[in-house]
């Protein structure tokens, strides 16, 4: 029988609680957006049209440096994770 490791227990509980919290926040935000965009009123139709136009014409040039940094650090994290499995 493996001995009880307090760090692994804490890490598991933290990840569990944060995952549940993130899912609750995401679902409530999506629900509010669904309620906001649903309906046949003229102002909601204009809002849907405007948001669809904004999503189609998104520009990544202003944030390309930040996206490259996120990708780089994610790659480093995955490499460290892979190296940890080898130990």
pLDDT digits (tens, 9 = 90+) for 68-83: 999 999 999 999 999 9
pLDDT digits (tens, 9 = 90+) for 25-54: 999 999 998 998 888 888 888 988 998 888
- Do residues 44 and 37 make contact, with C-beta atoms less than 8 angstroms apart? yes
Say if residues 36 and 47 touch (Cβ distance below 8 Å): yes
CA distance 34 to 38: 6
Query: With contact defined as beta carbons under 8 Å apart, do 38 and 44 qualify?
Result: yes
What is d(CA 59, CA 45) in angstroms, rounded to the nearest whole number?
24
* pLDDT band per the 50, 70, 90 thresholds, residue 19: very high
Q: What is the pLDDT of residue 1?
A: 57
Distance CA 39, CA 42 (A): 9
Sorted by where each begins, the domain ranges of the chain are 23-56, 60-87
């Amino acid at each position: 029988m493996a001995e009880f490791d307090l760090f692994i227990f804490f890490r598991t509980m933290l990840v569990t609680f944060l995952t549940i919290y993130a899912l609750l926040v995401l679902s409530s935000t999506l629900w509010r957006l669904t309620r906001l965009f649903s309906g046949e009123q003229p102002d909601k139709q204009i809002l849907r049209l405007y948001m669809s136009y904004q999503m189609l014409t998104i520009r990544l040039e202003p944030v390309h440096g930040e996206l490259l940094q996120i990708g780089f650090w994610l790659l480093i994290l995955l490499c460290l994770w892979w190296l940890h499995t080898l130990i």
